[in-house]
Amino acid sequence: MKTMKCVLLFSCVVALVSPRCVALPNTPTEPHHVVSPTNFYNASSAHDNLLDDHSGVVAKTDILDHVSDYPHGFSDGGHGAEEGHGADHGAGHGAGHGSGHGQIERYPVAVIDFERVQTPFIIGLWIFCACLGKIGFHMTPKLSNVFPESCMLIVLGVLIGLLLFYTQAASVSPLTADVFFLYMLPPIILDAGYFMPNRLFFDHLGTILVFAVLGTIWNALTIGISLYVVGLAGIFSTNIPILHMLLFSSLISAVDPVAVLAVFEEIHVEEVLYILVFGESLLNDGVTVVLYHLFEGYSELGEENVQVVDIVSGIVSFLLVALGGTAIGIIWGFLTAFVTRFTSGVRVIEPIFVFVMSYLAYLNAEIFHLSGILSITFCGITMKNYVEQNISTKSHTTIKYAMKMLASSSETIIFMFLGVSTVQSRHEWNTWFVILTIVFCSIYRILGVWIFSAMCNRFRVKKITFVDKFIMSYGGLRGAVAFALVLTINVEHIPSQPIFLTATMAMVYFTVFLQGITIKPLTILLGVKRAEKRTLTMNERLHERSMDYITAGMEDVAGRHGNLLFRKKFKRFNNKYITPFLVRDKNVMEPKFIETFSQIKMNEALQYMATNGNASKNIESFTSLLRNAATHPHLLKNNQGEWNLDVGELEYNPTTRDINDAKFHHLLSSEYTAVKRHRGSTYKRHAVKDDDMQTQTDVNHHNMYLHTRKFVSNIKKPSKTTSKPAENGVVKHPMTVDTRAAFQQNGSAIKLKSDYMAHVMRDNPAFVDDDGISSYTRDKPVSKQRSTRGPTMAETALPWKRYSDDDVPTSAQKVKRQMSIVPDDGDNATPTMAEASLPWKRLEEEEICDQPLRQSEFPAWASNKEYVCYYSPSSTFLGGLGKHESYPNIREIFGRRSSSSSVSSRRGSLKDQHIGAKEKPPSKHYLKERVSSRSSLNEYISHTSPLHHPDMSLHMRRHSYTGEHSLLNTTIAEEEGRRDTVIDMNPDGEREQTRM
């Protein structure tokens, strides 16, 4: 229905427009010519420029006969460069000018100047109609379930063509070969290349190449020769020489990427099958181009003049075309990656680079008559991985959608133009030729697939099954590439071009309609495995990768070098040399792990946000927070023992919204901040980006902060001097250092966090040194060294490594033991992780340990983020609701952005100590006892505050966590407008003070 509507609409527009554009060249008294001369001059000179630009192209590719047959062409898309058209224009121009001089010109009130905008306007209309058609098509599920979209578009095109034809509105030849190859095709191929599943593609590259190269040559030769042989019998009633036949067969033999994409995108077959058919259709372009030019050249030479030299040079040129195109593409791909390395300042132009440079790669290949399709495909494949790591998330999204949009509109236009051209082209129907073409194409396709898949199966681990073969042969769709190629055939050299054109059309219709429509039910009938669209789970990603390594290792053991070995080699080379050069950030060996991880996290966060998003409108203001804090009994209680200078100590009563936000915040921020691709930055409410935060809240926050600080410290000042420092189990930074650090997040904060892990581990009762006597001075250097370096994972997680601090000689011994595979082989320099952790090595080490520390002693909750963050009844403010024996520190609440594990384990320890402090009344004695018994404390203190002088015995500070304070900052930003309210708070606070 909708389809009909839009056809009607289009016809109206055409009816309105067509008399003008058709009549124009002959009738110079168009409204157009009433335009003032300058205006007119501009208009026509613009046209002339256009024509000049393209005349070279036109002359070079002997443009189709029908162009000159229909001189007042409706203009062909984009670069409307027909010589006839241009000539008429010149005439019109002259005439208009002459008549303009004859009359007295009055300034016109209104001017209709359709001519000037004709070309782009009509192109716009095409696309508009096609898209309307698409909408209509997808709104009628009955249609879209049965037909592939491409069919609908062709039908729509035919309808429009018929309309134009019978209304004599215009003679349209929209799909010229140049329009097709220079403008329509590149977006589709780029999209295909850029979003190509690399792994899959290269896994099956061998098979794909066999099909693309051998299969296409096979098809071309057999179809051509068979047709010729049949033609000898005189069945076609015209005599077509063998070379012409081969020319035709070479263009008809190639599977068309556009058609394949259009159909296979809809049927969602299993990815391997898909990549086989699709990869073939992409890569056979090189072959097609060569064969086509080869036979075209031979045909022009004439049959009798072809010599061995020509054949040899044909073969050489094949290699050149295919490899050259690929090489150009790869070079441009690397260039693009390299350029995007420097775009961090101008994010907006990132997508431009991707598009323009890949297009340049295409054109660059076309300059040398190399395979543009191969070039742009490999350009996309090459650049993708590096570019993705360089560009911002927004650019990524832009590229993704722009590319999809361009590709899908190109595809739409191509199919529509195919339909229109069906009506408009000059046909010569030769029944037998058409039928035999279709028959031979089908037969040889099936035969070819059978032969070559049998060939490939000898080398494939995963065999091509019968069903696969069937779908592969059935999916050999022909399409617009063949059509565009047949259009470029010069009818002067090859008189039977109209026959070829018709046969090609028929073949395209046959494959797109018959096969395209039936392939979907057939896949269901045959039980072809369908592809599932999903992101890999972390497990799959991880284990599959490890399986790759295992299998590769086994291949090495078995002495056979397979595909995996090449991959491994390339990967290593890539990681070592290419990636550092092309990618801005530091690279990791398995970026995919992190990518998958962040993807999963992101989805979860978004999901969570969608379900629990704006739960409450009650905005907890910072003011009320302060008020709460000031009035809360907890503050009083705390005063006995210690004086706290920090707002962080304030009691915090979170509302549902806060909890929700914070939960979301955890989900989103904790893993996100450090992830390379910055996926997390797409959606942020609270987790403001570093630089954003810098610009937005820095000043305000500081002012705000000063206010609060003054306020709080005013309350407490009197007793501060008198009170003795008390141990609370936690240590606090000075506020200033803290905030500064918070703003400079990335570098220092991350290091601090990782330092943190070490401390937490140490601080945990499970890791308290046994010797017990540890002086501050002794521990200090060790810790210093640690904090600069940051403990490695091994140090923190592996039990034996932890000893390295307290027991140097034995640990050295241990390491030595561990790393030697041969026990007496002492010259092994550095033990790998594997060596250190493999059990047969660990055994010896455990013997030495006087008191073995197993991981199980590590309390489960300390390292389990899920538990601590979400389920733990204490320690987080989420769970801490209604649980009043431990009040979490506000700083910590907001400092959640730090990584899960360090936070969680730390949180665990915090709770532990806090409760411990509660059980015993905090006294000097107790403090001493603790300090002496827990040697780690001092160390801990010196670690956590590497920025300030460790004179913590003077002031006992609660430890304020130097994470990121984004949530807090946002609150402050919200509050910033109401600063006076905060100042109004003072009386409140004073009252508090007096009460104390």
Partner 1 sequence: MGNKSSLMLQEQDIKDIQEETGFLPGQIERLYSRFTSLDKGDNGSLSREDFLRIPELAINPLGDRIVHAFFKESEDDHVNFRQFVRVLAHFRPIKHNQENNLNAREEKLRFAFKMYDLDDDERISREELLAVLHMMVGENISDEQLNSIAERTILEADTDGDQMISFEEFCAALERSDVEQKMSIKFLK
Per-residue tokens: 261:
């994409």
**C-alpha 727, offset from chain centre:** 51
**Choice between 1 and 822, CB closer to partner 1:** 822
Alpha helices for 590-734 (secondary structure H): 591-612, 622-631, 633-641, 656-672, 690-722
Please select the residue that binds partner 1; options are 1, 610, 822, 954, rule is CB under 8 A: 822
Contacts (CB under 8 A) with partner 1, residues 660-719 = 670-671, 674-675
Tokens 């191969």 belong to 374
Q: What's 720-732 look like in SS3?
A: HHHCCCCCCCCCC
Decide whether 542 or 848 has the Cβ nearer to partner 1. 542
Least CB distance from residue 576 to partner 1, whole Å? 11
Q: Cα separation of 447 and 431, whole Å?
A: 24
- Site membership for partner 1, residue 572 (CB under 8 A): yes
Report, in Å, the least distance between residue 899 CB and partner 1.
Answer: 3
Residue 826 interacts with partner 1 (CB under 8 A): yes or no: no
Q: According to the binding rule CB under 8 A, does residue 288 interact with partner 1?
A: no
Nearest to 517 by CA among 475, 549, 559, 472: 475
CB 515 within 8 A of CB 477: yes
Phi and psi for 832 in degrees, rounded to 5?
Answer: -80, 170
Q: Is 554 in the site for partner 1 (CB under 8 A)?
A: yes
Assess 545 for contact with partner 1 (CB under 8 A).
yes
d(CA 143, CA 153): 12
Given a contact cutoff of 8 angstroms between Cβ atoms, the answer to whether 192 and 492 are in contact is: no
Q: Which stretch binds partner 1 (CB under 8 A): 71-79, 727-735, 790-798, 876-884?
A: 790-798
Distance of CA 719 to the CA centre of its chain: 58
Told to check if 835 binds partner 1 by CB under 8 A, we report yes
Q: Which of residues 477-516 bind partner 1 (CB under 8 A)?
A: none
**Which of 16, 59, 588, 706 touches partner 1 by CB under 8 A?**
588
Q: Which is nearer to partner 1, 903 or 952 (CB)?
A: 903
Min dist CB 328 to partner 1, Å, is 32
Q: Does 796 bind partner 1 (CB under 8 A)?
A: yes
Q: Which is nearer to partner 1, 426 or 462 (CB)?
A: 462
CA–CA dist 348, 397 (Å, integer): 12
Residue 973 found at the interface with partner 1 (CB under 8 A): no
Q: CA-to-CA distance for 413 and 184, rounded, in angstroms?
A: 8
- Neighbouring C-beta atoms of residue 916, cutoff 10 Å: 16
Size of the site for partner 1 (CB under 8 A): 77
Which residue number, 586 or 949, has a Cβ lying nearer to partner 1? 586
Alpha helices in 140-270 (DSSP H): 141-146, 149-166, 177-178, 185-194, 198-203, 205-209, 216-232, 242-252, 257-267
Instruction: Look at the block and give the residue holding tokens 């191929």.
Output: 189
Q: Does residue 121 touch partner 1 according to CB under 8 A?
A: no
Q: Which residues, other chains included, contact 504 with Cβ-Cβ below 8 Å and sequence gap of 6+? A: 248, 251, 252, 478, 482, 483, 486
3-class SS at 530? strand
Dihedral of alpha carbons 554, 556, 562, 568, sign: positive
Q: Looking at beta carbons only, is 80 or 791 nearer to partner 1?
A: 791
- The smaller minimum CB distance to partner 1, of residues 144 and 563, is found at 563
Q: Is 804 in the site for partner 1 (CB under 8 A)?
A: no
The residue from 33, 341, 601, 801 that contacts partner 1 (CB under 8 A) is 601
Closer residue to partner 1 in complex, CB, 15/554 = 554
- The residue from 110, 840, 850, 882 that contacts partner 1 (CB under 8 A) is 840
Tell me the torsion sign for CA atoms 539, 542, 545, 550.
negative
Nearer to partner 1, 446 or 594 (CB): 594
* Residue numbers 60-79 binding partner 1 by CB under 8 A: none
Supply the DSSP string of 452-508, one letter for each residue.
Answer: HHHHHHTT-SS---HHHHHHHHHT----HHHHHHHHHS-TTT-TTHHHHHHHHHHHH
Interaction between residue 314 and partner 1 (CB under 8 A): no
CB of 687: closest distance to partner 1 in angstroms?
16
Q: Which of 863, 889, 935, 969 binds partner 1 (CB under 8 A)?
A: 863
Nearest distance, CB of residue 528 and partner 1, angstroms: 15
For residues 876-935, which are near partner 1 according to CB under 8 A? 898-902
Considering the rule CB under 8 A, would residue 543 count as an interface residue with partner 1?
yes
Determine, following the binding rule CB under 8 A, whether residue 462 of this chain makes contact with partner 1: yes
Candidates 540, 770, 857, 974: give the one binding partner 1 (CB under 8 A). 540
Site for partner 1 in 720-759 (CB under 8 A): 750, 753-754, 757
Residue 824 CB, nearest distance to partner 1 (Å)? 13
The secondary structure of residue 269, as a DSSP letter, is B
Which residue's CB is nearer to partner 1, number 421 or number 902? 902
Among 309, 461, 525, 829, binds partner 1 (CB under 8 A): 461
User: Minimum CB separation from partner 1 for residue 588, in Å?
Assistant: 5
